[in-house]
Structure 1
Amino acid sequence: MLQHASQSARGNILFVDDEENITRTLERQFKPLGYNVFVANNGVAALHILVNDQIDVVVSDMRMPEMNGANLLKEVALKWPDVGRILLTGFAEVDAAIAAINEGKIDCYLEKPWNENYLESVIKNAVENKHLKDKTKLLQKEVYRQNQELLTLNHSLESTVTARTNELNKTLESLHRNQLATLNVCSNLIENQLPHYRGHAKKVADLARQIALKHKLSQTEASLIYYAGCLYALGKIAIPKQILNTPYRILRGEERNVFHQYPVIGATALLSNEHNDFEWVAEIVLAHREAFNGKGYPHKRAGEDIPIGARILYVAIDYEQLQSGMLLPDKLTNFQAIELIKASKGILYDPKVVDTFCEIIAMLPAESIKTTREKMLPPESLKAGMKLSRALLSSTGMLLLPEGTVLDDRAIHNLVNLKNIVAYIQIED
């Protein structure tokens, strides 16, 4: 059942599932891709493999006897914190996802049946992230070794000390680049889990950083706000897809309460990171939906009690979401989004931040203003001749129809039989 690691392999993956046909299927899928594949049918067997072999990623089923997936991944996080942790389950339960994120500190959460290409992409990113952490640790050891050498040098050897210091600075710069790469890997995982968010977080992060710098914050603060913009949607991987696919303003009751959990889930996941700078990022992520008038969520903070990074991020997120149909059923134009944000000064948004935002937007080139409009419709409201403005995905993230497809009666008939999907239709001017 075990296969020993080879130096040329792409990475070592451990699949854990009490159903042998599942592990056999995964083994057949990933061995030809160049991975070393390990399998276990329970949590105890999986821990034994982790003790004896160098594993890069653990992919575990949630529902297993004796030790479920969340408890197994919690143990992995405690003993092997750098190992990637992915949860597979056929039970789309928010509580299970929250437990896995809080306790198992998982990197990704997928539902059965999985999309093979998507699973391969997620595992590839997780393996690369593990290898990146390994390289970072080696660099940290090298920095420590060089620092110890510097402490023992004779103070009279000034020229030698200067040369060593320059070498150390280069190594620290390399470490910083690796931390940025880690953030990019994490951001890519979010976009793989939430396909309709692809490109969105990067736009939010870029705009938030511009606002921060124009608002006269330091380069360090602006960078941390940028990181928060990249990662603000992390907690949404635990929210059911039918809720995420519904514009926020038309959510009601329990669905809206479930959605309101995502800042807490995301901040909790970030606080599990060992780097101190993520504490500030987590604080921004936790508070980025707190309204200036105190009626936001999750903790109803108000005014300047809300971190400035969160106040900036709120404006940047809504500017992008208003134009993409994430907040309202219809997409707004650039001008409409700006006017709606200005109308909410002092209610949702910090008035000073809105003023700075308007200065930034005024400097954008004219070609950056979007004119494409779309509306979101359930399958039963579709008509022949309508054109998809976005790719149509199933509730599990599988591609059903590509962007630009012109619908006919046959396609609409097939879509009506599916559950929990919506179509984004292009509105002709």
Structure 2
Amino acid sequence: MTDTGAFGVSNEQIPTILCVDDEAGILSALRRLFRAKGLAVQVAQSGQAGLALMQTQAFDLVISDMRMPEMDGVTFLEQVRLRWPDTMRLLLTGYADINAVMGAINKGEIYRYIAKPWDDNDIFLVVRGALQHRAMEMEQKRLQALVQQQNEELKAMNDSLEVRVHTRTQELRQANERMRNNFITSIKVFTSLIELRHNNLAGHARRVADMARRISVQMGLDAKQAQEIFVAGLLHEVGKVGFEDELLNTPVVMLNTRQLEVFRKYPSIAETVLMPLDELKGAVEIIKNHLERFDGGGYPRRLSEEQIPLGARILSVASEYDSLQLGLIGQRKLDARQAHDVIVQGSGRRFDPAVVDAFVVLHGGKSREQLRKEKQIEQTVSSRDLEPGMVLSRDMITPSGLLMLTAGHVLDDAVIRKIIDFERSSELKLTADVWQEN
């Protein structure tokens, strides 16, 4: 912090005063007074002389007489305010002219006015107060300028930091993308090594992975889930890497009891092999459950329906579809249409019906819901003709606009009774649009 003296300025600086008066005696008296107090004093005997002097050096404060020839104190101080606004201004007057004083205050924006004759101690206190006031204003401006400079520097640093962060983020994103691509490439290479052991397996894992991902997208899964299922598809046969050639080359339906027991362990073997890789935890969970059946008759834990992870239910369909065409399951290879039909026939037993629906749609077919609607016609019936099991094809709305039931609602005895009771109590005739078998 700067060490300041009695006048509020640095001890290394001596405040400089300019006294302007057309009377030499007054100027001499002011010069003696202020020099004795340690101030640097310059004098001028007219307003023009004072302005000329101020052009050559800086002053902290000016004291001007009110009445001077050619240029009075008000005019002089107004010029000082306009040209050197940081210089403090005092008016020295011997006249009790309030209008003149007010003019000096308004035009020259003087700090104070001093009446003649003055008391030396009083005028010194006024001058000291003015210099301290100026010192505080200058310090405030200095601090404001410093804050502004620091703010600009901080903004520049922030802008630079944002650019660096953005650049670094882009670099990290690109690096992560490269790592992800390399990771997938490594998996594909590893899968290819497994497929080399069986002539019929060439491209199997990649086709299964691609089909599983397409089914995932068709079912509305997000990109992360679809990618996880895709990776599981690539790696789902890793557990077969230690199988004997005879086991690899024999269709599943031809395996004897001992071979079948070994075969069914390959998802668990894959889990053991891949579990150390944290990035593959989700894929491992899918792989270890993809031999489970929707009806609960699968392996290894005989899970059923929603107990089986959705990814495993999807992988089961994709793997079975390609395996049927390669002859890995039955005694003969099936064509795509035949394999498709086997998948459809297994809906609700071997496979999740929702997954099969998505699979069928991908192959240009129609989902169960679409087929059901095609077999039905829409019909309007009275409340008395409603039967349990009927499905509303449209929202059921009263004549006054009250929504009673939404489209798709399956009617039962209790709901039908409520509809009839409402009709009777409101004395209305209600109808409902329902699906009827064609």
Looking at CA atoms only, which structure, 1 or 2, has the larger radius of gyration?
2
With the length of structure 1 as denominator, give the TM-score of the two structures.
0.47
Bigger RCO (CA 8 Å, 6+ sep): 1
What is the TM-score of this pair, normalised by structure 2? 0.46
